[in-house]
Structure 1
Amino acid sequence: MSAVDEIVREWTAQLLDSGSVAALVAGLVALALVLHRATWLPLRGVVTIAHEGGHALVALLSGRTLNGIRLHSDTSGLTVSTGKPTGPGMVLTLFAGYPAVSLLGLGGAWLVTVDLAHVMLWGCVALLAAVLLAVRNVYGVLSVLVTGGAVFAVSWFATPAWQALCGALLCWFLLFGGVRPIAELRRKRSHGRAASSDADQLARLTGVPAGLWLACWFLIALVCLVFGARWLLLMPQL
C-alpha cells in the first residue's frame, strides 16, 4: 500500500468517526456543487425531478388527474394535469414545485440525523420509481433511471457509515438546490424571460403579484435550509 493510500484511508476513518465533521464536509461539497456552474448544470436535473414530483403529488392529492411529467435536457420540466383550471387545487399544484425540493431535503435531513439514512435512501428510490411511472419522454426516463440507479447503488452496496454520509450530501444538495432556482427565476423574470413561470401563472390565477410568490418560496427554502443544516450538523457518530 502506497503512502497516499494510507493517508486517504486514515483521513476517511477520521472523517467517518465524527458525524458533525462529516456533515460539515458534505455540506461544503454540496454548496460547491450548487454554486459552480460546471457542476450545477448537469446536477440541476435532480432538482427538476423533485420539483416536478412535487407538482404531480399535489395534483393527485387535490383530486386532479395526472397526465404525465416531461423532463428536458435543458433541466426544465413540465407536469400536466387535468381538472378545474381555477380554484385551490390548481393553485396548490402550481405552488408545490419549488417548496418540494427544500421540504424533501428537510425530511431527509431529519431521517439522517436520527440514524435512519437507509430509510431516507430507500424512500428516495421509491419516490423516483413513482415519478418514473409518470414520465412521458425518453430523456426524462433516462434522467430518473440514472438518478435512481445512483441512489440504489448507495442503498445496496455502501456501508451504513457511507450511506449516512451520502444521504447527508444529498440532503445538503436539495437544501441548497432549493434556493438557487428561485434566484434564477427572479433573474429571468427581471429580463422578461419567464412569462409562463409558476409564479406568473399563480399571479394570473389569484391576483397576488408574482414577486410575493417568489418571496414566499424563498422564505420556505431558507427556513428549510436553516433547520436542515442544524439537524445535519448534529449527526451522531457514523
Structure 2
Amino acid sequence: MRHTDDFPNRQPFRAAQSAVIPVENNRNSSLMWLILATVATLMLMVVPFASVITFPIRMFVTFIHEGSHALAALLSGYHVIRMTIHWDGSGLTLTAGQNWFVASAGYLGTMLFGVLLLYHAQRRDRVSLLLVGSGVLVLLLTILFVNGQASWLMVLPLALASMLLLGGLRMNLPMMARWGMLGAGGVLILLLSVLCIATGTLYSWVAGLSIGVSLIALGVLTKPAIGQFIVNFLAVQCCLDALSDLKTLFFLSAFTNVQSDAANMARMTGIPATIWAILWLVSGVLLLGVTLWMIFWRVPNRNVASAAR
C-alpha cells in the first residue's frame, strides 16, 4: 500500500481544483444577477405605470448627473451656485463658470458611475459598501450643492430637528419631555420647509435625503445576495438611463433649439450640438462594452488560469 506522500503532486492538484470552482461559481452567480436585473429593467420599460417603481431610481440618476456637473465645476476652480432636482426627472446645476469639462460631465459622469457600479457589483462582498457609499454620495451632493454655499446652514438645524424627533420617540422619557421634544423638532422642520419653499429647493432636499437614507439602510439591512441584485439593477438603470437620455439629446439637438449640455458645448467650441450628442453616445456605448468584457471574459479567464497554475 502506498502513502499519499508517494504522490507529491496530488495535493497541489486538489488545491487547484478547489480554487477554480469558487471562481466559476462566482462568475455564474454574477451573470445570473446581472441577467435578472437587465430583464427586470426591460420588463419595467413596457409595463404600464411601472414608472412608479423606477421613479426613485430616476431621481438617483438625476442626482448623479447633476452632481457630476457640480464636481467637474469644483475641479475646474468654479463654485456651485445651486443644484436643483425636479419631480419629472430633470435637473439644473448653476455654476460660476463653465468649460467643456463641466458641460460633458453630466452624461459621461452618469455612465461612468453606472459602469463602475456594474463592475464592482460582481463581487458580493462589496455590495453593502456600494449601497452605503451611493447613499452617502447622494447625501453629500444634497448638503453641499442644493443651496450652494448656504447649504451648510441647513445641516445643523436639520440634525438638531432629527435628534429632537428621535428623542421624543423614546418611551423611557416623561410624557411632557417627549411632547416638548417632538414639538420643538416639528417646529424646526416646519421652518426649514418654509425656507426651502422660498428658495425653490424643497423637493431637492426631500428627494436627496430620502434617497440617501434609503440606500444606506439597504446597504446595512439587506442580505448580500439581495444586495447584489439591487446594485446590479441600479447599475443597469444608470447605464440605460444615460444611453436613453443621450439618444433623446441627439434628437433634441438635431431638430430643436432646446437648451442642453450639447448646446452649451456647441457655443463654446463651434462644433454642432448633434456631433457632441453622437460623441457622448458612442463613448457611453464603448464604456459599457469594455466593462462587460472585463466582467465576463478578461477577469474570469485570468483568474481561472492563475488558479490552474
Give the TM-score taking structure 2 as reference length.
Answer: 0.63
CA distance in 2, matches of 1:229, 1:35: 25
Q: Is the 8 A contact 1:23 1:232 kept in 2?
A: no
Q: Deviations over 1:66-96 (max 9, x none)?
A: 112011122211111113x5xxxx2110110
Which residue does 1:211 correspond to in 2?
274
Shift of 1:209: 1.3
Shift of 1:174: 0.7
Q: Extract structure 1 runs of 4+ deviating beyond 4 A.
A: 34-37, 230-236
Aligned residues: 214
Shift of 1:127: 1.1
Once the two structures are superposed, the pairs formed by residues 61-210 of structure 1 within 5 Å of their partners are: 61-83=75-97, 90-115=99-124, 116-133=126-143, 134-136=145-147, 137-192=201-256, 194=258, 196-210=259-273
One-letter code aligned to 1:18: S
CA distance in 1, matches of 2:216, 2:244: 26
Which entry has the higher C-alpha Rg, 1 or 2? Answer: 2
Q: Is the 8 A contact 2:80 2:95 kept in 1?
A: yes
Shift of 1:228: 3.7
CA distance in 2, matches of 1:120, 1:169: 13
Change in 2 beyond 3 A, CA 1:55/1:173: same
CA distance in 2, matches of 1:98, 1:36: 26
One-letter code aligned to 2:40: V
Q: Deviations over 1:1-44 (max 9, x none)?
A: xxxxxxxxxxxxxxxx9332222111111233456674458343
Shift of 1:145: 2.1
Shift of 1:155: 0.4
Structure with the higher fraction of residues in helix conformation: 2
Q: Is the 8 A contact 2:100 2:268 kept in 1?
A: yes
CA distance in 2, matches of 1:38, 1:233: 33
Shift of 1:161: 1.4
Change in 2 beyond 3 A, CA 1:37/1:46: farther
One-letter code aligned to 1:22: W
Which residue does 2:31 correspond to in 1?
20
Which residue does 2:190 correspond to in 1?
none
Shift of 1:61: 0.8
Change in 2 beyond 3 A, CA 1:145/1:201: same
Q: Is the 8 A contact 1:109 1:231 kept in 2?
A: no
Q: Which runs of 5+ in 1 are unaligned?
A: 1-16
Shift of 1:105: 0.8
Which of the pair has the greater relative contact order for Cα pairs under 8 Å at 6+ separation? Answer: 1
Shift of 1:207: 0.8
Change in 2 beyond 3 A, CA 1:25/1:181: same
CA distance in 1, matches of 2:74, 2:67: 11
CA distance in 2, matches of 1:129, 1:108: 18
In the alignment, does 2:94 pair up with 1:31?
A: no
